[in-house]
Amino acid sequence: MIQVMRAGLREMRVEDLDAVMDIERRAYEFSWSRGNFVDSMAAGYIAQVLCDEQSQLQGYFVAMAGVDEMHLLNITVEPRLQGRGLGLQLLDGVLLSATVHGAGLLWLEVRPSNRRALELYERYGLHAVARRRAYYPALVDGRAAREDAIVMSSPVENLRQRRGMD
């Protein structure tokens, strides 16, 4: 039997990992490993993929539900498809997951150099609340270095109202 998939978000499966890793490696200089995704799924983190009408993977996210909060660990859109609103669709999926898990707060870290992501998160309604020094690996003039992280957060209810989900 052929399984037909509608476009949209669904749970990430092990068989998605080849496509996920292809996108991950092209999107980031310091990408997650396959093991990071496998461990996240095994730990029960929320891991979803966004597919088009032909079931082609367009993006994904991994988030960890905690006590009264949701921590977005990874969100990635296929680099060739960026700028088409798919990041907003993925964030809406994170927000719905946060709601289902009773999270009152959504938060994440982002590189200051990732201007596109920062602008997306600010447009979505997240606000910078802290800075983590030397959080991310980086290269400066071909040498190993570290880059800070901007911690961003917002109450889930504020985001739901902003996105018209109430």
Question: Which residues are catalytically annotated?
Answer: 109, 121
CA atoms within 13 A on the CB side of 98: 29
Q: What is the CA radius of gyration of the chain?
A: 16
Helix axes 115-124, 86-100, angle to 10 degrees: 50
Output the six-digit token pair for 61. Answer: 């996210």
Output the six-digit token pair for 155. Answer: 């109450």
108: exposed, middle or buried (C-beta count within 10 Å: 0-12, 13-18, 19+)? buried
